[in-house]
Amino acid sequence: MALRREYVRFLSVKVAEELQKQEMIAVPEALDLAEQVFQVMDTEVNLEHRIDDEVRSLLNQYQDQMRQSGASYQEMFKLIKNKLVKERKLVL
């Protein structure tokens, strides 16, 4: 599921606030924890976008064969994405 960047930023602020509120971590004054959390979360979201783009590219290469065989674009998208994720040992 793709998340909008604004929502990722909102979530990162909430995560940082909750970690500090629950005293789960100690954060130095100069460190912007929310920004650090955002960078990590944004990287993960972009990873999913890159995988989706790669799947679309693969499906575009084989669209004629898919049309001839009657394969569903949505099902093939899901299958190929899951295969790439598994092969690369990613967690989305």
Q: What is the pTM of this model?
A: 0.66
76 by Cβ neighbours in 10 Å (0-12 / 13-18 / 19+) ranks as: middle
pLDDT of residue 27: 87
3-state secondary structure of 2: coil
Q: How far apart are CA 85 and CA 41, in angstroms?
A: 17
Domain boundaries, the chain: 5-87
Nearest partner of 71 among 59, 87, 86, 57, judged by Cα: 59
The pLDDT of residue 1 = 58
Q: What is the structure's pLDDT at 92?
A: 78
Instruction: Let me know: does 73 contact 66? Beta carbons within 8 Å.
Output: yes
In eight-state DSSP terms, residue 90 is -
Token digits for 88?
A: 């690369």
| pLDDT band at 57; cut points 50, 70, 90 | very high
